[in-house]
Amino acid sequence: MPERPKQSLTLKDHARHLVALAEEAGMQNLHLVGHSSGGLIALQLASDHPDLVHSLTLIEPAPCRPLQAPASADLVERFVRPAMAHFAAGNIEDALDAFMRGVCGDAYGEVIERQLGWLGYEQALRESAFFFRDEVPACMQWQFSAADASRIRQPVLILEGAEGRKQGPFSEQVTELAQKLLPHAEVALIAGTNHMMPLQDPDAVGNAISSFARRFPMLTAARTTNR
């Protein structure tokens, strides 16, 4: 089992790790996709290393800093604070349940079990300790300015769950803020999904990403020469 880092990681740390992974794999150009807090890491990477990112897809990016929607306050008060309180008290399962019901709806457990089985839920439960202890604080401490966003000139696609809009204004507000941050971004709604869209309809999500990426093909080494 890998060792836990000696100190908490920032989102910039995670972005640097992705760059190191790409270098190790010999990847010089990426169609980069990030979901939720992964969307924030993707934004950071695309801003810090624009030459590495060919296109960027944000799947319901987390509502932090420039993406902090007005409806975030209600979500934090009703679900995030209780989840963090459960975690502080050592009640990991209650913490996960409170958070997931607020962000993904009451049927989140059925979605996980249907797509990943009971072992998938158990893995989510185990990994939620890192999420509450390290990932949530890293997101809350994230700094990302308009100047950072201005370096992102690659094609950008924002995917939002259409079902989430029926649950309240939250996801639509986040999308609007993302568009304000990245005016050239495109938006696509995935029918019948909310924040859990990668599990709810992986085919639709995959098709949306691949269709977008195909519109912006990477030049091969042969095509970039004058031969």
Dump pLDDT digits (tens) for 17-41.
999 999 999 999 999 999 999 999 9
- Over pLDDT 90: what percentage of the chain? 90
Mean pLDDT over all residues of the chain? 93
CA distance 35 to 19: 17
What's the pLDDT tens digit per position in 52-87? 999 999 999 999 999 999 999 999 999 999 999 999
Residues 6+ away with beta carbon under 8 Å from 49: 15, 19
Please indicate whether residue 223 or residue 96 has the higher confidence score (pLDDT): 96
- Checking if the pLDDT of 45 tops 80, the result is yes
Decide which of 71 and 223 is more confident: 71
Q: How far apart are CA 188 and CA 156, in angstroms?
A: 11
Q: What is the pLDDT of residue 220?
A: 59
The band of 136, judged by pLDDT with boundaries at 50, 70 and 90, is: very high
Q: Which domains are seen in the chain, by residue range?
A: 11-214 (3.40.50.1820)
Cβ 193 vs Cβ 162: under 8 Å: yes
Report whether pLDDT(227) > 70: no
Least confident of 6-15, 144-153, 189-198: 6-15
Q: What is the pLDDT of residue 7?
A: 76
